[in-house]
Structure 1
Amino acid sequence: MAHPFCHMELGSTDVAKSKTFYTTMFGWNITDMDMGGGMTYSMFKPEGGGPGGGMMKHPVPGAPSSWLPYVAVDDIHAATKQAASLGAKVMKDVQEVPHTGWFSIILDPTGAALGLWQEANKS
């Protein structure tokens, strides 16, 4: 697959409860990363393959917990622009994650949320 799903992200209303559920249910090892500014990002990578991901306090106040899949792209700026030209709404324009890569978040023409991700070593 040319553009596989590469990361899954949970925006949770209760990160502690989510961690307990997923470590018990699936045996995921979760590692907390201090992102600065009081934000913690909790990373996981399932044993045996598949995309890993992370979880964090949902960034939208009052929004329910939800999963956001990310698709790997070669050029985040071109992919975000192409998505918009095909009718997607850009919810979060390209943003850098220092030393890691870049992401954007779109709503496809039907309203489904999707993240786009470019690794730093593919710039």
Structure 2
Amino acid sequence: MGNNCQVHGAFSWCELLTTDTESAKHFYGKLFNWALEPAPITGLDYTLVKSGGEKRGGIMAIPPAVEGEPPCWGVYVTVDDVEATAKLAVEMGGKVLMPPHDIPDVGRFSVLQDPQGAMISVITYLPKAN
């Protein structure tokens, strides 16, 4: 993830939620020549997607909270303040599908839905240690 992905409003991460992670990794790895590696996340089987040596996204099983939903790709947009963005989305007729919460060692995120029903995730990343 490059530094420009930490700018408010930038698309910064893509994530596949799927029912068959092994098949998905084989398909996308070969299709796009992605480097795939396990993420060091305790208690979660998460695969990092790398392209050009940069982390670009991830692949994981559909979590229990949305079990039964079809596999889908989701995108994350960087925001300065997850809570303020979620509040503004509701004020503008959207919904909060997953309230703001922390991803350890990554940042804070929320899943929103626009008034037409499209979903998008917003995230504020933790500052990087130099």
Q: What TM-score comes out, normalization by structure 2 length?
A: 0.84
Structure 1 counterpart of 2:119: 113
- Matched residue, 2:89: 83
Task: Provide the C-alpha distance between the structure 1 equivalents of 2:8 and 2:112, rounded to a whole number of angstroms.
Answer: 19
1:74-122 deviations in Å (ceiling 9; x for gaps)? 1111111111111111000101011110110011110001000110119
Once the 2 structures are TM-superposed, how far is the Cα of residue 46 of structure 1 from its aligned partner?
Answer: 1.7
Distance in 2 between residues matched to 1:107 and 1:97, nearest whole Å:
20
List gaps (5 residues or longer) in structure 1. none
Deviation (angstroms), 1:4: 1.4
**2:75 maps to amino acid:** P
State the one-letter code of the partner of 1:40: D
Q: What residue in structure 2 maps to residue 58 of structure 1?
A: 62
For the residue of structure 2 that corresponds to 1:35, the secondary structure is coil
Question: Number of paired residues?
Answer: 120
Is the contact made by 2:14 and 2:75 (CA closer than 8 Å) also made in structure 1?
A: yes
Alignment match, 2:35: 29
For residue 22 of structure 1, give the secondary structure of its aligned residue in structure 2: helix
Partner of 2:47 in structure 1?
42
Q: Distance in 2 between matches of 1:110 and 1:45?
A: 32
Distance 1:2 1:103, change over 3 A: closer
User: What TM-score comes out, normalization by structure 1 length?
Assistant: 0.89
Q: Which runs of structure 1 show a deviation greater than 3 angstroms over 4 or more consecutive aligned residues?
A: none
- Alignment pair present for 1:12 and 2:9: no
2:8/2:80 contact within 8 Å kept: no
